[in-house]
Protein backbone atom coordinates (compact mmCIF):
# COMPACT_ATOMS: atom_id res chain seq x y z
CA UNK A 1 0.00 0.00 0.00
CA UNK A 2 1.22 3.48 -0.75
CA UNK A 3 1.01 6.51 1.50
CA UNK A 4 -2.20 8.52 1.45
CA UNK A 5 -1.65 11.28 -1.09
CA UNK A 6 -5.22 12.51 -1.16
CA UNK A 7 -5.68 16.28 -1.18
CA UNK A 8 -5.12 17.84 2.20
CA UNK A 9 -2.99 15.14 3.81
CA UNK A 10 0.11 16.73 5.27
CA UNK A 11 -1.11 20.25 4.57
CA UNK A 12 -2.46 23.02 6.78
CA UNK A 13 -5.96 21.61 6.30
CA UNK A 14 -4.75 18.25 7.62
CA UNK A 15 -1.54 18.70 9.61
CA UNK A 16 -0.88 14.96 9.82
CA UNK A 17 2.22 13.84 8.00
CA UNK A 18 1.63 11.35 5.20
CA UNK A 19 3.33 8.69 7.37
CA UNK A 20 0.92 9.23 10.26
CA UNK A 21 -2.15 9.58 8.03
CA UNK A 22 -1.29 6.29 6.33
CA UNK A 23 -0.67 4.56 9.66
CA UNK A 24 -3.99 5.74 11.10
CA UNK A 25 -5.82 4.60 7.98
CA UNK A 26 -4.25 1.15 8.28
CA UNK A 27 -4.57 0.62 12.05
CA UNK A 28 -7.96 2.26 12.57
CA UNK A 29 -9.71 3.03 15.83
CA UNK A 30 -7.87 2.29 19.02
CA UNK A 31 -10.35 1.47 21.77
CA UNK A 32 -8.52 -0.87 24.14
CA UNK A 33 -5.19 -0.36 22.37
CA UNK A 34 -2.08 1.60 23.33
CA UNK A 35 0.18 3.69 21.11
CA UNK A 36 3.61 5.03 22.02
CA UNK A 37 4.50 8.27 20.24
CA UNK A 38 8.24 8.95 20.40
CA UNK A 39 8.83 12.65 19.83
CA UNK A 40 5.48 14.43 20.22
CA UNK A 41 6.64 17.83 18.88
CA UNK A 42 3.43 19.81 18.30
CA UNK A 43 1.32 16.83 19.36
CA UNK A 44 -0.55 16.38 16.08
CA UNK A 45 -0.09 12.60 15.95
CA UNK A 46 -0.88 12.07 19.65
CA UNK A 47 -4.03 14.18 19.34
CA UNK A 48 -5.18 12.23 16.26
CA UNK A 49 -4.65 8.94 18.09
CA UNK A 50 -6.56 10.17 21.15
CA UNK A 51 -9.45 11.25 18.91
CA UNK A 52 -9.52 7.72 17.48
CA UNK A 53 -9.84 6.24 20.96
CA UNK A 54 -6.24 5.13 21.48
CA UNK A 55 -4.52 5.27 24.85
CA UNK A 56 -1.34 7.28 24.17
CA UNK A 57 2.04 7.33 25.86
CA UNK A 58 3.66 10.51 24.55
CA UNK A 59 7.44 10.73 24.90
CA UNK A 60 9.16 14.06 24.32
CA UNK A 61 12.14 15.94 25.77
CA UNK A 62 10.09 19.14 25.85
CA UNK A 63 7.56 19.18 28.71
CA UNK A 64 5.70 21.85 26.73
CA UNK A 65 4.78 19.22 24.13
CA UNK A 66 2.48 17.53 26.61
CA UNK A 67 0.87 20.84 27.55
CA UNK A 68 0.19 21.54 23.86
CA UNK A 69 -1.49 18.14 23.54
CA UNK A 70 -3.64 18.71 26.62
CA UNK A 71 -4.62 22.20 25.40
CA UNK A 72 -5.78 20.82 22.04
CA UNK A 73 -7.48 17.69 23.34
CA UNK A 74 -10.94 17.10 24.69
CA UNK A 75 -10.92 16.84 28.49
CA UNK A 76 -12.40 13.35 28.26
CA UNK A 77 -9.18 12.17 26.56
CA UNK A 78 -6.86 13.25 29.39
CA UNK A 79 -7.13 9.92 31.20
CA UNK A 80 -5.84 8.16 28.06
CA UNK A 81 -2.70 10.31 27.77
CA UNK A 82 0.44 9.43 29.70
CA UNK A 83 3.14 12.08 29.21
CA UNK A 84 6.78 11.01 29.57
CA UNK A 85 9.50 13.66 29.54
CA UNK A 86 12.57 12.13 27.93
CA UNK A 87 14.06 10.79 24.73
CA UNK A 88 14.50 7.33 23.26
CA UNK A 89 18.26 7.68 23.64
CA UNK A 90 17.95 7.84 27.43
CA UNK A 91 15.34 5.12 27.89
CA UNK A 92 15.94 1.54 28.95
CA UNK A 93 12.46 0.30 28.04
CA UNK A 94 9.22 1.39 26.45
CA UNK A 95 5.73 0.50 27.68
CA UNK A 96 3.92 -2.38 25.98
CA UNK A 97 2.16 -1.09 22.88
CA UNK A 98 -0.03 -2.03 19.95
CA UNK A 99 1.61 0.71 17.88
CA UNK A 100 4.83 2.72 18.03
CA UNK A 101 5.08 5.94 16.05
CA UNK A 102 8.57 7.36 15.60
CA UNK A 103 9.00 10.10 13.01
CA UNK A 104 12.70 10.73 13.65
CA UNK A 105 13.71 8.89 16.84
CA UNK A 106 14.96 5.82 14.96
CA UNK A 107 17.06 7.77 12.46
CA UNK A 108 20.81 7.69 13.00
CA UNK A 109 23.05 5.53 15.15
CA UNK A 110 21.20 6.12 18.41
CA UNK A 111 17.91 4.94 16.94
CA UNK A 112 19.46 1.81 15.50
CA UNK A 113 21.02 1.06 18.89
CA UNK A 114 17.60 1.43 20.53
CA UNK A 115 15.74 -0.72 17.97
CA UNK A 116 15.45 -3.54 20.51
CA UNK A 117 13.31 -1.29 22.74
CA UNK A 118 10.73 -0.90 19.97
CA UNK A 119 10.67 -4.63 19.26
CA UNK A 120 10.29 -5.45 22.97
CA UNK A 121 7.49 -2.90 23.39
CA UNK A 122 5.39 -3.97 20.41
CA UNK A 123 2.96 -6.75 21.12
CA UNK A 124 2.87 -9.54 18.49
CA UNK A 125 0.95 -8.17 15.52
CA UNK A 126 1.62 -4.61 16.70
CA UNK A 127 2.29 -1.79 14.26
CA UNK A 128 5.35 0.36 13.68
CA UNK A 129 5.03 3.67 11.84
CA UNK A 130 8.51 5.12 11.50
CA UNK A 131 11.15 6.83 9.45
CA UNK A 132 14.30 4.73 9.15
CA UNK A 133 17.54 5.17 7.29
CA UNK A 134 17.62 3.06 4.15
CA UNK A 135 20.52 1.16 5.75
CA UNK A 136 18.25 0.18 8.66
CA UNK A 137 15.57 -1.34 6.42
CA UNK A 138 17.02 -4.80 7.08
CA UNK A 139 15.78 -4.53 10.66
CA UNK A 140 12.30 -5.17 9.28
CA UNK A 141 13.16 -8.61 7.90
CA UNK A 142 10.26 -10.90 8.74
CA UNK A 143 7.84 -8.01 9.36
CA UNK A 144 4.75 -7.49 7.20
CA UNK A 145 5.28 -4.26 5.27
CA UNK A 146 1.95 -2.49 4.90
CA UNK A 147 3.25 0.76 3.43
CA UNK A 148 6.68 1.97 2.41
CA UNK A 149 7.96 5.10 0.77
CA UNK A 150 11.53 6.14 0.13
CA UNK A 151 12.38 9.82 0.41
CA UNK A 152 16.04 10.19 -0.44
CA UNK A 153 18.00 8.23 2.16
CA UNK A 154 14.99 7.75 4.43
CA UNK A 155 12.40 4.99 4.43
CA UNK A 156 8.94 5.84 5.77
CA UNK A 157 7.27 2.59 6.70
CA UNK A 158 4.21 1.15 8.36
CA UNK A 159 4.87 -2.46 9.28
CA UNK A 160 3.32 -5.18 11.43
CA UNK A 161 5.48 -7.09 13.89
CA UNK A 162 5.39 -10.86 13.47
Task: Confirm or reject CATH 3.40.50.150 for domain 18-160, answering yes or no.
Answer: yes
pLDDT of residue 108: 76
What mean pLDDT do residues 132-161 have? 92
- The more confident residue out of 146 and 137 is 146
Calculate mean pLDDT across residues 88-100.
95
pLDDT at 65 over 90: no
What's the angle, vertex CA 124, arms to CA 60 and CA 38, rounded to 5? Answer: 10
pLDDT at 6: 39
Question: Angle at CA 54, nearest 5°, toward 114 and 157?
Answer: 45
What is the C-alpha separation between 162 and 160, in angstroms, rounded? Answer: 6
Give CB contacts under 8 A, 24+ apart, made by 103-107: 103/17, 103/19, 103/20, 103/38, 103/39, 103/41, 103/45, 103/130, 103/131, 104/39, 104/131, 105/38, 105/39, 105/130, 106/38, 106/130, 106/131, 106/132, 106/136, 107/131, 107/132, 107/133, 107/154
Of the pLDDT bands very low, low, confident and very high (cuts 50, 70, 90), residue 89 is: confident
Between CA 79 and CA 81 the distance in angstroms is 6
Look at residue 9 in the predicted model and tell me its pLDDT: 40
What is the pLDDT, as a whole number, of residue 146?
A: 96
List the chain domain ranges. Answer: 18-160
- Average pLDDT on 52-73 reads 90
Quick: pLDDT tens for 101-139. Answer: 998 888 877 778 889 999 999 999 999 999 998 888 889
How many CB atoms are closer than 10 A to CB 92? 6
pLDDT digits (tens, 9 = 90+) for 1-45: 444 443 334 333 458 889 999 999 999 999 999 999 999 888 899
Amino acid sequence: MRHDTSPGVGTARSPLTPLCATALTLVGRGEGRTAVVIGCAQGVEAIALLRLGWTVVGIDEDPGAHERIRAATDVTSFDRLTPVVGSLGHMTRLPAADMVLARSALLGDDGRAKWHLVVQALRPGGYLAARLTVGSAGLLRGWELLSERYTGTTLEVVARRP
